[in-house]
């Protein structure tokens, strides 16, 4: 399936991923599922605490920022 958004891995993400893989509780498959949902503009379940990434953004996953 073609993603709605293009996924690009930054060097910072690659470094963080390398660190996370060393932890026993980290599940790469779960991360891939979440990234695929975000790339296809599918809302995440409530357990992932969907939130604004930064207050300046106008919209993120259907939420608007109110000061």
Residue 5 maps to a domain: no
Beta bridge pairs of residue 63: 60
Residue 56 maps to a domain: yes
DSSP state of 59: E
User: pLDDT tens-digit profile of 2-26?
Assistant: 778 888 889 999 999 999 999 989 9
Judge contact between 20 and 26, C-beta under 8 A.
Answer: yes
Q: Which one is predicted more confidently, 37 or 67?
A: 37
Residue 2 maps to a domain: no
Model confidence pTM above 0.75: no
Residue 44 maps to a domain: yes
Q: Which domain does 55 fall in, by range?
A: 11-64
């Amino acid at each position: 399936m073609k993603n709605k958004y293009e996924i690009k891995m930054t060097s910072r993400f690659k470094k963080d991923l390398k660190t996370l893989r060393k932890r026993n509780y980290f599940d790469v498959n779960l991360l891939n599922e979440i990234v695929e949902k975000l790339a296809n503009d599918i809302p995440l379940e409530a357990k992932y605490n969907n939130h604004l990434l930064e207050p300046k953004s106008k919209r993120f996953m259907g939420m608007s920022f109110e000061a």
